[in-house]
Amino acid sequence: MNARLEAALLDAHTASWIVHLPPLLRSAKSEIEALDAALYGCMVGGNHIASALIGRLGPSFNENYPPTANHHEVLERMGAGDTYEMWCCWAAIMRARDVRDAERLSRARVDGDSNA
């Protein structure tokens, strides 16, 4: 294939994607907003789980069993049962929150927002 024809085909292919890009971006933005709202709901649930864990393990449970702790080590220390199962759920929610917060901080830095 000659270079001129190859460039024309590439330009046509690129142009077809550019036409579809705005709807794809709007769709992705809507999906991200929906996921953010769902994650917020999970964090509310995480607060309720934390309340129950405070009742069972004390107010410093998150220092004794941080969400970044190894599940196997926590199981060995805490033992199997409802409290361990609750901790697993709470820890997963907190790790998801940390990912969300890191992404928001990163976006704020790019946007120049000092209030993030």
| Cα Rg of the chain (Å, integer) | 23
The token pair that represents 111 in the structure block: 């946007």
What is the separation of C-alpha 18 from the centre of its chain, rounded to a whole number of angstroms? 29
pLDDT digits (tens, 9 = 90+) for 24-40: 788 888 898 898 889 88
The token pair that represents 84 in the structure block: 């361990």
pLDDT digits (tens, 9 = 90+) for 70-99: 999 999 999 999 999 999 999 999 999 888
pTM of the model: 0.68
**At residue 107, does pLDDT exceed 70?**
no
Residue that wins the pLDDT comparison between 105 and 61:
61
Q: What pLDDT score was predicted for residue 7?
A: 63
Contact 96, 49 (CB under 8 A): no
- For 68-85, b/e burial (b = at least 16 CB within 10 A) is eeeeeebeeebeeeebee
Q: What pLDDT score was predicted for residue 105?
A: 72
